[in-house]
Amino acid sequence: MAREPRPLTQADKEEAFRIATRSLPKWYADEVVRGMTDEELAAALSRVLGIWGGSCGPGRLDVMFQGSGLKIWAGWHIVNHVMERPIFKGKSTVAMARHIYAIPDPTDPQISLF
């Protein structure tokens, strides 16, 4: 069954991120609530993403990820990690983790408004 390529929406990117990092809130439950510095969060994400991984299936996003460089690729087609740019890499992966899992930064002097 051939896949029909289509562009990723913001919701698709967030879903791909959740697929790649689904063990983060389980493995680091206390730290997620308490907060993590960028360095701590990057180290946790590197462990969660591991050496290499992925997920795909009929009618599902093709997601690939690697801890080195905090890279995540995704597409509605078979992703070629050599030819395609990751949708998240480095600091953008850390920023998305903060957004998706509401992880505070204990070094940020800004008081949370929520």
How many separate domains does the chain show? 1
- Identify which of 109, 110, 22 has the alpha carbon closest to the alpha carbon of residue 63: 22
The H-or-E segment that residue 21 falls in is: none
Q: Which domain holds residue 71?
A: 10-101
d(CA 16, CA 57): 13
Inside any domain, residue 107: no
Inside any domain, residue 90: yes
Q: What is the pTM of this model?
A: 0.89
Inside any domain, residue 113: no
**Angle (CA) 72 53 44, round 5°:** 65
**Structure confidence at residue 5 (pLDDT):** 72
**Structure confidence at residue 22 (pLDDT):** 96
**Structure confidence at residue 112 (pLDDT):** 63
Which parts of the chain register pLDDT below 50? none
d(CA 23, CA 4): 30
**Structure confidence at residue 58 (pLDDT):** 87
**Structure confidence at residue 89 (pLDDT):** 97
CA atoms lying within 13 Å on the CB side of residue 34: 8
